[in-house]
Amino acid sequence: MIQSNKNYHTCKLIRHQVDVLLEEMSVLFTNIGIDSTVEEIQEAYRKEKELIERIAEIDPVKADNLRSSY
């Protein structure tokens, strides 16, 4: 099995793909306010988890770092 050294820090394409998903994640929580319902907040966290899983498909190490940051 050949292991790739490409990751968020070494490959511009991977960085771009991950950054697009990170931007989607930030928009989720930017739209949450004090008037948001519990369901809306839970939905944002569910979508965040999905986006992290998509990041894991691209760069597993970056996804692990995101998971461990909260």
Which residue, 69, 58, 65, is CA-closest to 7? 58
How far apart, in whole angstroms, are the C-alpha atoms of residue 56 and residue 36? 29
Grade residue 2 by pLDDT with cuts at 50, 70 and 90: very low
How far apart, in whole angstroms, are the C-alpha atoms of residue 32 and residue 42? 10
- The mean per-residue pLDDT over the stretch 23-51 comes to 95
Phi, psi (deg, nearest 5) at residue 62: -60, -45
Grade residue 4 by pLDDT with cuts at 50, 70 and 90: low
How far apart, in whole angstroms, are the C-alpha atoms of residue 20 and residue 3? 25
How far apart, in whole angstroms, are the C-alpha atoms of residue 27 and residue 23? 6
Q: What is the pLDDT of residues 52-66, one digit of tens each?
A: 999 999 999 999 999
**Owning domain of residue 46:** 12-68
pTM: 0.85
User: With 90 as the cut, is the pLDDT of residue 70 above it?
Assistant: no
Domain tally for the chain? 1
- The mean per-residue pLDDT over the stretch 7-18 comes to 95
